[in-house]
Amino acid sequence: MINLKSKLPLVGDTIFSEMSTLAQQLNAINLGQGFPDYQPDTELLNAVCQAIQQGPNQYAPMIGVPALRQAIRDKTIAHQGHAYDPDADITVTSGATEALTSSILALVQAGDEVILIDPSYDLYAPVVTLAGGLTVRVAMNPPTADTPRFSLDWDAIAHAVTPKTRLLMLNFPHNPSGLTLREEDLDALEHIAAHHDFLILSDEAYEHIVFDGNPHVSPVSRPALASRCILVSSFAKTFHATGWKIGYCCAPSSISQEVRKVHQFTVYSVSTPMQTGIASYLKQTQAIHGLSAFYQRKRDRLVQGLKASRLQPLHSEGTFFLLVDTRALGQGPEKDLAIRLTREAGVATIPVSAFYADPAAPAANHQLLRLCFAKQDATLDDAIEKLANL
């Protein structure tokens, strides 16, 4: 018998695969896991196919194909208002997942504290544990009758910072709440950062999906924050290509140097033709600019449709997620309700409690489910009809 000691004894199958499996078994519509049920733009597919045909098809440089790093630089100047050096600061990674993991493993030492703002994306805590760090959880204010949205509690975040704080994890636009940052948030963050010496890992995977004409607000738009920030993003959500796993990480060179040491020995380099194809597509297309409007139409379609149901949508400011308040269906743990909805209505969703340290805790259960609207209109309409019948 092999004596195997797990490094992550508490980690099992994620709620995303659990709900997807249930959806498959019950032939339910899957509004749970966050991926589109449509193809990327044909021009992008052609650009990648051409790159495969023409090559090169051998190892890319460890830090990424130069044309793609240049395109990321240009995109980040336009979108986040910060100029990174493509050679020293930008690294192409295997999705945002690898950028986040390599960053945490490179920057967090044993005993370092990492602040997570709950609800938080499920990758952060286990990777902090792998790095030997300690997670410090700060909850967002949950929605109330007066303020029917999650909101950031900057006082609580300030209180959580100690001399041992190494990293503050941010994720805006926010999965699962759809919350975006405002300039006041950056004021508060700058104020805290001025008194402490921690890094900020800003997961901006949904940077190009912000609604109602609002801009994407990133911490790297403030020079005082950019100097301690690692900006992570991905082409998965931007190009409807979650299966391609191409992302990137931008940070001042001294930080990037450390992140690259981990990237080098976990992934080394990322698919060459994918990088070349994406770089040439980014040069010729305005596709990114239409993305917010594309998803806003889907958000509005779902919100409008749900008026006929007993689910009460909260406002989504960005991402392709919508939270719904389920109190009209009775009280109970969110996960039970998600399972019930899959069985009785034929629609799979994700309980928001899954984004907390202890999903079973009362403080993690606010009677909220997350619905993904990155689906064809016909899929959304089917789901709306089924939910209205509940």
Q: Which residues bind ligand PLP (CB under 6 A)?
A: 34, 95-97, 121, 171, 175, 203, 205, 234, 236, 242, 245, 247
Of residues 279 and 384, the one with the C-beta less far from ligand PLP: 279
Of residues 319 and 326, the one with the C-beta less far from ligand PLP: 319
d(CA 244, CA 233): 13
Q: Rounded to the nearest whole angstrom, what is the least distance from the CB of residue 236 to ligand PLP in the complex?
A: 4
Of residues 228 and 245, the one with the C-beta less far from ligand PLP: 245
Q: Rounded to the nearest whole angstrom, what is the least distance from the CB of residue 246 to ligand PLP in the complex?
A: 7
Per-residue HEC secondary structure of 75-100 comes to: HHHHHHCCCCCCCCCEEEECHHHHHH
Q: Rounded to the nearest whole angstrom, what is the least distance from the CB of residue 275 to ligand PLP in the complex?
A: 14
Of residues 171 and 367, the one with the C-beta less far from ligand PLP: 171
Of residues 230 and 384, the one with the C-beta less far from ligand PLP: 230
Q: Which residue is nearest to ligand PLP (CB)?
A: 95
3-class DSSP assignment, residue 371: strand
Q: How many CA atoms lie within 13 A of 275 on its CB side?
A: 28
Q: Rounded to the nearest whole angstrom, what is the least distance from the CB of residue 95 to ligand PLP in the complex?
A: 3
Look at residues 292, 319, 280 and name the one whose alpha carbon lies nearest to residue 45.
280
User: Which residues are 350's β-sheet partners?
Assistant: 370
d(CA 30, CA 34): 9
Q: Rounded to the nearest whole angstrom, what is the least distance from the CB of residue 126 to ligand PLP in the complex?
A: 13
Tokens of 256: 């990037």
Q: Parallel, antiparallel, or unpaired for β 113-118 and 347-348?
A: unpaired
User: Which residues are 91's β-sheet partners?
Assistant: 249
